[in-house]
Amino acid sequence: MKTIIKFATIVLLACGVFACNEQKILREEPLDFFSPENSFVTYENFQSGLTDLYAKVREICYASTEYKPYLTATDIAQDGRYQLTARFGGHTNYLVPTNNDVLLHWRSWYKIVSNANTIIARLEPSKLSADQKKQVEAEARFFRAFAYRFLVYLWGDVPLVTEEVTAPRRDFTRTPKNDVLQQMVLDATFAAENLPAINSVTDGKISNLVAYHLLAETYISLQNYDKAIEAASVVINDGNVGLMTERFGSMATQNPTDNFLKFTQPGDVYWDLFRVGNQRRSRGNREALWLATYEIDIPGGILQSSGGYFHFHTLERVAGPVPWITLKDPDGNEGVIGLPMSDYNTAGAGVSLMMNTEYFLNDLWKEDWNTDIRNAPHNIVRDFVYTNPASKWYGKSAVKNPGSTLIAQPWRWYPHPSKITTPHQHPDGVYVDKTLGTIKNTAGALYRDQYLLRLPETYLLRAEAYLGKGDQVDAAADINVVRNRSKATPVAPGKVTIDYILDERARELVYEEPRRVTLHRVGKLVERVRKYNTLNKDEIKDYHGLWPIPFSEIEANKDVQMVQNPGYL
């Protein structure tokens, strides 16, 4: 009997020993594939995770499928072929809970939130130094706030997730908009206080000033105008930034002759802002605060010198007209040579998917048509000439002498900002014949960096905050800093309204700011589309002031009902 008891004791002790290590034995430790456990170990690992956030923002904001809803069917732009049922051409037919683009944007921004949360959660157990942890957390928290900027303005109340999600969840609830904005303030404040100064970051990386700008915008949404002014002033008063007022960069002293417009493009400092390479602070641009950077023929750089747009950074293709295909002259003969050109005339390899509204092209400039440099012929191209030497109309204006095709299909050519393309600066591999300036019809990409944030926007944001306080004098002063650079007539304080500020944003930031997000943020989308967009004014409804929650997300959230935004089935 004693022997049996002794044996049993040994067995129990042995079991106890193994029980102590049971969790260790059963814990999964991935050895041959990447997971959060082995992907966030070194400082380099965390930097790779942050780099992916930059790449995701670049793709959402500028890949051809993604960015169009932020621009078209607004007050500044409409579908280029007058269609309401394609390419976010109209709201009633397109902005529905089952639309794939609506789902794409919801999931894309929440993917950034999720990845940022994972990065933050993995910092504590890592072996990074305290300074490294703080820097990584600051960057990740900025991206989380930046993602919620789009989510909260487009959808209103949205699920607020600030912890890493490690298992499937079906119980998300919509957080009140103001609570989300308060979290954005916390994240942007941490980022502003811990990110490096703008003069110590490389081109394309965020700095403390970018976070302060986001903080100012968020405070405006919370109607805390003093805090917004304070944050914006940090950016404006920083000695490392300032508006460019003199010619600079590539082509500043090279005024190329455009063979078909028959005049030398004079250029100006606004024009210089959008020439190839001129966006980077390392090239002398002091007003660039944050860029989406691109490289040609470099892995991850997106662009290829051989042509091929691959649906990335295709502003030229989307916003440029398509006059280079089948355009008859007044005699009924072919008026064009059948290839796009690297000039102001054809605007590169466009395909007429998005055009500016009459409001942008004409109404905005009436007061300063001949003086505001942003409306100069090289900044907004308003003429097109026939390019086929075999036509007797060769070199003559197709706008003043329209052929039958242009009359029947006006989308074949329309005025456009020259910032959508890079005239005379396409890569060599894109040219079919450089002496003629012809390029491949598969070009389409915008071969330069894109501004995510420029200093003029901060001035206009601070003007908005001053206006919120009822201070039209200081609001006008900030607006006039931007207008003076453009040689536009200064605005009188009594004329400053939120609509005037939106007008000035359109003049300065067309095709740079996500216009739809701005209009949602200030609650003016529906009103201004009805007032300024002739294609969309009758189809947009009051409830389009918010986007629909994707139906598939509501359906998947089985444990808690996620209520749809009003107006959507």
d(C-alpha 409, C-alpha 30), whole Å = 59
Residue 66: predicted pLDDT: 55
Residue with tokens 């403390």: 208
Kindly give the residue spans of alpha helices, DSSP state H, lying in 375-471.
404-408, 455-468
- Domains, in order of start, for the chain: 36-73+101-246+549-556 (1.25.40.390), 247-285+294-448 (no CATH)
Contacts of 407 (CB under 8 A, 6+ apart): none
Angle at 152 between CA 518 and CA 136, to 5 degrees: 100
Q: Which pair of tokens denotes residue 32?
A: 């041959």
Phi-psi region of 191 (alpha: psi -120 to 50; beta: other; left: phi over 0): alpha
CA-wise closest residue to 568 among 552, 536, 546: 546
The verdict on pTM exceeding 0.85 is yes
d(C-alpha 201, C-alpha 241), whole Å = 13
Number of Cα atoms under 13 Å in the Cβ half of residue 235: 33
As a whole number of Å, the CA-based R_g of the chain is 27
d(C-alpha 395, C-alpha 523), whole Å = 46
Q: Residue type for 202, please?
A: T
Residue with tokens 């970018």: 210
Residue 374, classified by CB atoms within 10 Å of its CB into exposed (0-12), middle (13-18) or buried (19+), is buried
Number of Cα atoms under 13 Å in the Cβ half of residue 376: 18
CA-wise closest residue to 353 among 299, 387, 311: 311
Residue 241: predicted pLDDT: 98
**pLDDT of the chain, 569 residues: tens digit per residue:** 343 333 333 333 333 433 445 444 444 555 544 455 667 788 899 999 999 999 999 989 887 655 688 999 999 999 999 999 888 899 999 999 999 999 999 999 999 999 999 999 999 999 999 999 999 999 999 999 999 999 999 999 999 999 999 888 999 999 999 999 999 999 999 999 999 999 999 999 999 999 999 999 999 999 999 999 999 999 999 999 999 999 999 888 765 555 444 444 578 999 999 999 999 999 999 999 999 998 887 887 777 887 765 556 788 999 999 998 989 999 999 999 999 999 888 889 999 999 999 999 999 999 999 999 999 999 999 999 999 999 999 999 999 999 999 999 999 999 999 999 998 889 999 999 998 889 998 888 888 999 999 999 999 999 999 999 999 999 999 999 999 999 999 999 999 999 999 999 999 999 999 999 999 999 999 999 999 999 999 999 999 999 999 999 999 999 999 999 999 98
- At how many degrees (to 10) do helices 130-155 and 100-121 cross? 160
**Whole-Å CA distances, 111 to 105, 118, 312, 563:** 10, 11, 19, 21
CA-wise closest residue to 225 among 461, 459, 466, 523: 466
**Whole-Å CA distances, 71 to 172, 257, 353, 443:** 30, 32, 12, 22
Contacts of 211 (CB under 8 A, 6+ apart): 138, 142, 188, 189, 191, 192, 195
Beta bridge partners of 295: 302
Number of Cα atoms under 13 Å in the Cβ half of residue 373: 18
Contact between residue 465 and residue 217 where contact means Cβ atoms under 8 Å apart: no
